[in-house]
Structure 1
Amino acid sequence: MKKNVVIRSGSLRMGGLERVLIEVLQNIDRNKFNLHLIIEDDCGEDNIFQRDIPEDLEYSFLKPKKLRDFTEYFKNRKKNIFYKMGYNLMMTVESIYTFYKLKRLLKNMGNIDVLVDYDTGASKYIDKLNVKKKIGWIHNSIPNLKRKESKIKRYGKRLDKYDHIVAICDEMKEEIESIYPFLRGRVSRIYNPFNFNRINSLSLDKSQCNKRDLEMLQERYYIGVSRLDTNQKDYDTLLKGYKRALEKGMKEKLYIVGDGPSKKEIKDKIEELGLKNSVYLLGQKKNPYIWIKNSLGFVHSSKFEGFGLVLVEAQILGKSVISSNCPVGPREILGNGEYGLIYKVGDFQELSEKFLEISNNESLRKSYEEKSKIRAKDFNSNGILREYENLIEGIN
């Protein structure tokens, strides 16, 4: 008899977690499960991945866009004490509204065998939901995500209410078990799945490129793909390291694909460093793969990660990869330097040397390109999706 399974996640906006979710929904063996999808935030036109949900899969949003927008209105003005109070009130209203709507949806679905909380966004009230088994999926380094000791401790109490926890890399699994020893025996590692055929196909698709895009693709350039958010992404080191490499004779340009709240701050930094003719912010791209495919190499500068999906995507496309050695993910993906170049977080001098190594040493670059293809095979979706299925089938 097929299990009734609900997957709950936060949004369908452009992001790594969301891309992985769609990969799972499109390729998991639906003959084994009665599958339902619940998404917390309806982001309207920013539901980038909504069109990629399988047509025959039932899904629901918990929080209407108007409610979310009203909360954002207060959030953006919360330096004012009145708006801060309003924001705190709206956060409480949202939480209560979301909980009761989720509870009602689950009740209407009947007996739910497994709830997969794909971003642990329901952890506040997971123990109050009437489902048989609960799996929490963790996609980020906990100390960097929560930061304050009190929040880390509170998060652990919430995780203890799940029947099983999944970490997306070995380093993260070890981190979770070290911080929360009481979870040992309930944590497993399942890598994120990647659809090689889809990524390779999109890397050749120029249908969305205008004339200027096609001209830019002919240049020699490095590419970075990440959210423009300086809380997590280390753009200061990236831009300083790139500038130092230019000063030492490097000629390649730097393209950055992505959007986010720190766009103006990053643009100002580019101006300040005199890089406006060398660094280009390309904005959000539904298909970043053609830009990765045509690059000289992929560069990633982050303070912390959950895994680093884009590193694997660059490896699938046979690119040499340069990444900061941040927690967690990049070190594991790059085999501690065997499959790509890593540099200390915040060390722009070391980053500049990595740029120059790839730019000036063709044989080294080609060696890393071949190693990237070898390492990428460990992340093929077929075997990983079987791990998803085995976990859901085996939890009793």
Structure 2
Amino acid sequence: MLFTLVFLGGGGIERSVCNVLAGLDPRRFATRLFFHHRPPPGREDRLPANTEVSWATDSYDYHRQNLPLYLWHLLRHAREADVIVAGQEGRAALLACLAGKLLGKPVVGMIHFDWGAFHREQPRRQLWGLRLLYPRMQRIVACGHDTARSFQSLVPVPEERLQVIPNFVDGEVVRAAADGPVPDWAGPVFERPVVIAVGRLEPQKGFDVLIRAHALARQEGVDHHLLILGVGSLEAELKALARSLGVESSVFMPGFASNPHALMRRAAVFALSSRFEGLPMVLLEALALGCPVVSTDCPSGPAEVLENGRHGVLVPVEDAPALAQALARAVLDEVHRKDLARKARARAEELSSAKALGAWEALLDSL
């Protein structure tokens, strides 16, 4: 089985693909993971141990003229595969479809975003690509039911080709990582109760709304710190926003963290402020760690994971005052916070990785 990604980033898409590869029964499935670009140094521990890993180029930069090179290397490895799985939308899906067509191999496409919301922020060619490529795939796997409905409203695919296999995490692995040490810089951050968020510093994640909510809660006397882990194009803009709101001393943005779970476990609250998602991996990881969760009710994923608020607090998208109020209560009210932590752990137990992996193995067997 050949799974393909563009590169090994720090996001949920890569983690979801690696979780599938790590969980497939190695006695039944020989697996390979192919990247267009070499994995960055320091992230080798994210790669599944039982999977052969290869890539097309040592360069981390994308140049359109290199597409034939990526395809040539993909074809070399795909010749030995029974099934090609496009681990993400976009370029990975394009080249997986081309390789499948040229080699006569079945292709599976993975859908990670709520495309009803996501396509509005993307060039029109992205939606054209979905409508061109995915109806030609033998199977499409959506990470959640809401994500599947949103996708099908945009792309006409037969019901029998679209399957929902929810994202999942290995709770034991996540909790073991959380027992690790925290970086030296974390000491001053945790001198106050911490609201933690993890994700790319991009518009989708709504960190501008989260910083505004943090400032509103501070104005109401809630003494806490905000820790945002991640890198992205909005770093300078978000730091400028914190300065303009007078909270630069209580907002910490240290960049990429190799072990965010150790920091998440020590936080008072986990916040997800996204404008849209698919089925966010970091939310599943927070539940596995027993983190009290406050999340936007964005399309799609949080309501599905939290069962419409039974296992965490949901607030409207773009509503900084509502987010501030929910975070403030979680920080200040110990009884409420412990109740949210209990509900998080209970929900994590319900979201079985075994069920999802069984569905993946049955799907791959059928092809």
Normalised by the length of structure 2, the TM-score is 0.91
Q: Single out whichever of 293-302 and 139-148 deviates more from structure 2.
A: 139-148
Query: Is 1:390–2:357 an aligned residue pair?
Result: no
Query: Is 1:160–2:126 an aligned residue pair?
Result: no
Question: What's 1:186 paired with?
Answer: 161
Question: What's 2:88 paired with?
Answer: 119
Counterpart selection for 1:305 from 262, 277, 284: 277
Query: Is 1:29–2:25 an aligned residue pair?
Result: yes
Provide the C-alpha distance between the structure 1 equivalents of 2:78 and 2:313, rounded to a whole number of angstroms: 47
Percent of aligned positions that are identical? 26
Q: Give 3-state SS (helix, strand or coil) of 2:163's partner.
A: strand
Counterpart selection for 2:221 from 249, 274, 277: 249
- Larger CA Rg, structure 1 vs 2: 1
The number of residues matched between the two structures is 361
Unpaired runs of 5+ residues, structure 1, are 72-89
Provide the C-alpha distance between the structure 2 equivalents of 1:150 and 1:22, rounded to a whole number of angstroms: 28
Q: Give 3-state SS (helix, strand or coil) of 1:277's partner.
A: coil
Question: What's 2:114 paired with?
Answer: 141
Provide the C-alpha distance between the structure 2 equivalents of 1:161 and 1:300, rounded to a whole number of angstroms: 35
Contact preservation (8 Å) 1:319, 1:372:
yes
Give the AA of the match of 2:57. K
Q: Single out whichever of 50-59 and 256-265 deviates more from structure 2.
A: 50-59
Contact preservation (8 Å) 2:43, 2:258:
no
Question: What's 2:308 paired with?
Answer: 336
Give the AA of the match of 1:295. A
Question: What's 2:183 paired with?
Answer: 209
1:183-240 deviation per Cα after TM superposition (whole angstroms, max 9, x unaligned): 322111111221111111121211x532x424533531111111112x2121221111
Query: Is 1:225–2:198 an aligned residue pair?
Result: yes
Provide the C-alpha distance between the structure 2 equivalents of 1:44 and 1:310, rounded to a whole number of angstroms: 21
Cα distance change of structure 1 residues 149 and 227 upon mapping to structure 2, 3 Å threshold? closer
Query: Is 1:53–2:39 an aligned residue pair?
Result: no
The structural deviation recorded for 1:320 is 1.3
Unpaired runs of 5+ residues, structure 2, are none
Contact preservation (8 Å) 1:18, 1:49:
no
Give the AA of the match of 1:53. L
Provide the C-alpha distance between the structure 2 equivalents of 1:44 and 1:202, rounded to a whole number of angstroms: 20
Cα distance change of structure 1 residues 35 and 131 upon mapping to structure 2, 3 Å threshold? farther
The structural deviation recorded for 1:348 is 0.7
Contact preservation (8 Å) 1:115, 1:131:
no
Give the AA of the match of 1:113. D
Q: Single out whichever of 121-130 and 12-21 deviates more from structure 2.
A: 121-130
Provide the C-alpha distance between the structure 1 equivalents of 2:266 and 2:85, rounded to a whole number of angstroms: 37
Normalised by the length of structure 1, the TM-score is 0.85
Question: What's 2:324 paired with?
Answer: 352
Provide the C-alpha distance between the structure 1 equivalents of 2:254 and 2:21, rounded to a whole number of angstroms: 29
